[in-house]
Amino acid sequence: MTLPDSSRGEYRRARREGRPASGLLLRNVRPLGGSAVDVLVRDGRIAALGAGLPATGPLRVEDGAGALLLPGLVEGHTHLDKTTWGSPWYVNDVGPALADRIDNERAWRARTGHDAGAHARALALAFLRNGVTRIRSHVDIDTDAGLRHLEGLLAVREELAGRVDIQLVAFPQSGLLVRPGTAELLDTALAAGADVLGGLDPSAIDRDPVRSLDTLFGLADRHGKPVDIHLHEPGELGAFTLELILDRVQALGMQGRAVVSHAFCLGAVDERRLHGLLGRLAGLDVALLTTAPPSRPVPALRACRQAGVTLFGGNDGIRDTWTPYGEPDMLARAMLIGLRNDLRRDEEILWAFDCVSAAAARACGFADYGLEPGARADLVLVDASCVAEAVARRAPRRLVIAGGNVVARDGRDAPA
Query: Which of residues 18, 88, 224, 415 is near its own copies by CB under 8 A?
Result: 88
Contacts of 264 (CB under 8 A, 6+ apart): 231, 232, 233, 234, 238, 296, 297, 298
Query: Which of residues 124, 388, 407, 408 is near its own copies by CB under 8 A?
Result: 388
Query: Which of residues 58, 272, 295, 412 is near its own copies by CB under 8 A?
Result: 295
Residue among 202, 206, 289, 207 nearest 247 (CA)? 202
Note whether 318 and 363 are within 8 A (CB): no
Query: Which of residues 5, 35, 58, 91 is near its own copies by CB under 8 A?
Result: 91
- Among the residue ranges 91-99, 110-118, 160-168, 215-223, the one whose residues contact its own copies (CB under 8 A): 91-99
- Among the residue ranges 44-52, 125-133, 242-250, 389-397, the one whose residues contact its own copies (CB under 8 A): 389-397
Query: Which of residues 268, 303, 386, 414 is near its own copies by CB under 8 A?
Result: 386
Q: Is 167 in the site for its own copies (CB under 8 A)?
A: no
Shortest distance, position 389 Cβ to its own copies, whole Å: 4
| Composition of the chain by helix, strand, coil, percent to 5 | 40, 25, 40
Shortest distance, position 22 Cβ to its own copies, whole Å: 37
Q: Is 93 in the site for its own copies (CB under 8 A)?
A: yes
221-250 binders of its own copies (CB under 8 A): none
Shortest distance, position 349 Cβ to its own copies, whole Å: 7
Shortest distance, position 198 Cβ to its own copies, whole Å: 23
Query: Which of residues 10, 221, 285, 389 is near its own copies by CB under 8 A?
Result: 389
Query: Which of residues 94, 268, 303, 414 is near its own copies by CB under 8 A?
Result: 94
Residue among 138, 137, 214, 206 nearest 171 (CA)? 138
Write each residue from 311 to 350 as x if it is in contact with its own copies (CB under 8 A), else as -, in one continuous string.
Answer: --------x--xxxx-x-------xx-xxxxx-xxxx-x-
Q: Provide the CB-side half-sphere exposure for 96 (13 A, CA).
A: 0
Residue among 94, 162, 217, 175 nearest 401 (CA)? 162
Q: How many beta carbons lie within 10 A of that of residue 120, not counting itself?
A: 30
Distance (Å, whole) CA 102 – CA 79: 13
CA angle, 123 as apex, 122 and 127 as ends, to 5°? 120
Q: Is 292 in the site for its own copies (CB under 8 A)?
A: yes
Contacts with its own copies, residue ranges (CB under 8 A):
88-89, 91-94, 96, 292-296, 319, 322-325, 327, 335-336, 338-342, 344-347, 349, 384-386, 388-389, 392-393
